[in-house]
Structure 1
Amino acid sequence: MKWIASLFRGRGLYWALSLCIVIAAACSFFAVKNIVEQNKPQTEQGGEAIWELPEAPVEQDVKDVPLKATPAPTATPRPSASAKPSPSPASSSGSQEQPAPTAAPEEPAAAPAPSFVWPVDGQTGQEYSGDELVYNETLKDWRTHNGLDIFCEAESPVKSAVAGRVTAVYEDGMWGQIVEIDDGAVTWRYCGLASGSVLVKAGDEVLAGQAIATLDQAPAESGLESHLHLETLRGGNYEDPRQYLSEG
């Protein structure tokens, strides 16, 4: 026992320190083990772990969490493709394109000849009566008036109202010198012409407005002022000349 006492006397301090370290290590080990045991999850039958949630209420519920607004995607407009003109061979080679020569202005076309013209210059008198009987001052009777009377000065030039072909030139006891011109659809009969003044003959082609004779007087209407008696016939039937004449 003496050697033990001498051992502690010489090295007692070191042994005491070592013992304290061992005791502290043992206490730490058991403390850590106890913490691990407390935090170990409980298990149900079947071996599945059950984690216990803390009973303390959460500060903010899921429904109270504000959602971050996500901006709607905006469509990016596509750049419009500008059509670039393809360079002409002349421009690509550096030479300037010569302008196309301008066409010389065309001469204005001649105005077409009028379809109808007034055969004499004057005022209309007795109209076409059709089937209606009118009183004839010269013959002192009632009869139809088959034409249109146009009052004008004696010896006035008489013109063809239409273009056509002269079909007849003759003298009539009632209507004096007569010239008939066919325009292809209607026969125009000019009455009361001066016998020696006729400028056309049967078969001649005439233009609208061409002079055909000078005015005299129709015997059947010699009691009236100087005038041209004009008749129109289609298919041998009398028609009103006014419907073919333009007031212009």
Structure 2
Amino acid sequence: MEQIKKFLHGKGFALVLAACLLAAAAAGVWAVRTVRDELRQNLTDLTNPSSTARQTIPEPEPDPDVGLEEEELWLDLPDTAEQAANSVAGVPQPVPGSLSASSGAASGSGSVHEPSALRTDSAPAASSAAPASTQPFSGRVLNAYSGDELVYSKTLGDWRTHNGVDYACAEGSAVSAPCSGKVTETGTDGRWSSVVTLEDASGRLWRVCGVSSPAVKPGDTVTAGQKLGTVGTISCECAEEAHIHLEVLQNGQYLDPAKIS
């Protein structure tokens, strides 16, 4: 023990101190090298960041939901506004006077005609035929068809429906057939006085009331506008001025004569 104490008080102490200094120096050198290597790596990453990004960031995988048709669609789009304008300029322009330029109608197998009121060419031959119906007299309408609405009767002094149209005219004037058809009845009615009834091609019955001196008889065929007789009187409407009362029935139902053509 005494020898160890003597050694430490002598050369031993110097040797231990030298060993500690060497160990500290070695540790310092190792630490400096480590820091230098890290700084060098950091400088390399800063000067060339793409290399690190390629190593750390994975490549994006293709989206399976995007089909080939969508990719081709984007590839076919024009790159510039000039190319788009050129593609529009390549569309053929309508020829002046053609159907698409004049009428604006869509293309198709059907034909387009101007309204009859605007056409200047001659009408078909069928249009020159007699109209399906006409007024029995060219005078003004005295009383219109009322339908379900009640109107006041000057003669009877009550409110009732008016099932026909009254045409004002002078007594003794000629009465024309309102339609083409067959005469089914000529006679006297207690309320409507002298009546001439016609049946047209559609089976409708036209009752012309107030016709005196009939010029036709049952079974005759007449055309629209043909004379049926002259204007007389109507018993149930005698308080009105002279007129002709026209009724139209189909399957027992009254129709508005003014709306039949």
The normalised TM-score by structure 2 is 0.50
Alpha-carbon offset, residue 184 of structure 1: 2.3
Deviating 4+ runs (over 6 angstroms)? none
Which of 202, 213, 230 is 2:246 aligned to? 230
Which has the larger helix fraction?
Answer: 2
Name the structure 1 match of 2:187.
170
Name the structure 2 match of 1:193.
211
The AA in structure 2 aligned to 1:206 is: V
Q: Secondary structure at the match of 2:143?
A: coil
Aligned pair count? 136
The AA in structure 1 aligned to 2:234 is: A
Alpha-carbon offset, residue 133 of structure 1: 1.3
Question: Distance in 2 between the 1:234 and 1:162 partners?
Answer: 14
Q: Secondary structure at the match of 2:191?
A: coil
Name the structure 2 match of 1:215.
231
* Structure 2: runs of 5 or more not aligned: 1-123
Query: Are 2:247 and 2:254, in contact at CA under 8 Å, matched by a contact in 1?
Result: yes
Alignment RMSD (CA, Å):
1.5
Alpha-carbon offset, residue 236 of structure 1: 1.3
Question: Distance in 1 between the 2:133 and 2:192 partners?
Answer: 23
What are the Cα deviations for residues 148-170 of structure 1, in whole angstroms up to 9, with x where unaligned? 00111111111111110011112
What are the Cα deviations for residues 52-106 of structure 1, in whole angstroms up to 9, with x where unaligned? xxxxxxxxxxxxxxxxxxxxxxxxxxxxxxxxxxxxxxxxxxxxxxxxxxxxxxx
Name the structure 2 match of 1:115.
132
What are the Cα deviations for residues 83-132 of structure 1, in whole angstroms up to 9, with x where unaligned? xxxxxxxxxxxxxxxxxxxxxxxxx9683122222211200011111111
Name the structure 2 match of 1:70.
none
Q: Secondary structure at the match of 1:220?
A: helix
Alpha-carbon offset, residue 176 of structure 1: 0.5
- Structure 2 residue 256 is matched with structure 1 residue 240: yes
Question: Distance in 2 between the 1:198 and 1:224 partners?
Answer: 22
The AA in structure 1 aligned to 2:146 is: S
Bigger Rg, structure 1 or 2: 1
- Percent identity between the two aligned chains: 45
- Structure 2 residue 215 is matched with structure 1 residue 204: no
Q: Secondary structure at the match of 2:146?
A: coil
The AA in structure 2 aligned to 1:189 is: R
Name the structure 2 match of 1:161.
178
Name the structure 2 match of 1:82.
none
Question: Distance in 2 between the 1:220 and 1:118 partners?
Answer: 21
Alpha-carbon offset, residue 215 of structure 1: 0.5
What are the Cα deviations for residues 196-246 of structure 1, in whole angstroms up to 9, with x where unaligned? x1011111110111001100111111101111100001111101000015x
